[in-house]
Chain A
């Protein structure tokens, strides 16, 4: 009896999908289409876009979120992870990297919280060299070893215990530098425009 009118069944079924899409995507999309980028938000530079691709490639989004929650909902504010993020902060993000896991800390304002390029480079080379209890993976393939570093090379200051062997310099590749460029660019501490909060 469910299929008394077969086309009715299929229409009904597809209607439920469409209705859900309209509610979750269509209407919010219409609402948010008019959201302008926040005033303090700068488009990503070429290097930062490259770095963002590396962030995507290495799956950083599976342990790090990029969304800060409001006061009173979680401890994001007390931990000084930055003011609550708003839609206008994300207009240049494609794909989105909101993240659903905080195995590691939120990174939406990491550029403001940790502005040291050399810290980031060393941390990426092996996180445990700067944070002993870290469970983050190491990323040695973003670096090369050189017996003699050139004048342009950015050398890392890695503790001896974490060096592969003595007598070599660990040098950052373009990928490492651009990834750090991207991370340092994650700074959304500019004030949010009035009325730009969530509808």
Chain B
């Protein structure tokens, strides 16, 4: 199969890029970056707007007690 040199270049860049990405992923797992991810998900909550409270500007149904 005749592969043009430019395509070989592209394949080369892609393989290198994938290798770098894989290495980064392995590094991330090994240095524990992936262990504690849940606190990131909680970043949008705090004491004023805690998890479980429903925040919304207005309701179109019955008025709720804590949110509306």
- Asked if chains A and B come from one complex, the reply is yes
**Contact residues of A with B, CB < 8 Å?**
1, 4, 8, 12, 15, 19, 22-23, 26-28, 30-31, 199
Give the complex CA separation of A143 and B2 in angstroms: 54
| B4 touches A (CB below 8 Å) | yes
Closest chain A residue, CB of each to CB of B31: A4
Name the residue of chain B whose CB is nearest to the CB of A30. B6
Report chain A residues within 8 Å CB of B33: 1, 4
Q: Which residues of B contact A30 (CB under 8 A)?
A: 6
Contacts of B24 in A (CB 8 A): 8, 12
Mask: chain B, 35-68; 1 = CB below 8 Å from A; 0 = not: 0110010000000000000000000000000000
Looking at chain B's contact residues, the main secondary structure is helix
> Across the interface, which residues of B come within 8 angstroms of A12, CB to CB?
21, 24
In the complex with contacts A19-B13, A19-B14, A1-B6 CB distance below 8 A: no
Which 8 interchain pairs have the tightest Cβ spacing?
A30-B6, A27-B10, A27-B6, A1-B33, A31-B6, A19-B17, A23-B10, A31-B4
Residue in A1, A4, A22, A28 whose beta carbon sits within 8 Å of that of B13 in the complex: A22
Which residues on the A side are within 8 Å of B21 (C-beta)?
A: 12
Please, which residue of chain B has its CB at the minimum distance from the CB of A32? Answer: B6
Give Cα A27–Cα B17 distance, bound, in whole angstroms: 16
Q: Is there an interface contact between B14 and A27, defined as CB atoms closer than 8 Å? A: no
Whether the pair B4, A15 counts as a contact (CB closer than 8 A) is: no
Known: A15-B17, A19-B14. Contact between A199 and B4, CB under 8 A? yes
B10 to chain A: closest residue by CB: A27
Are B37 and A27 closer than 8 Å at their CB atoms? no
Complex CA gap A4/B34 in Å reads 12
Known A27-B10, A30-B6; further 4 A-B contacts with Cβ < 8 A:
A1-B36, A19-B13, A23-B10, A27-B9
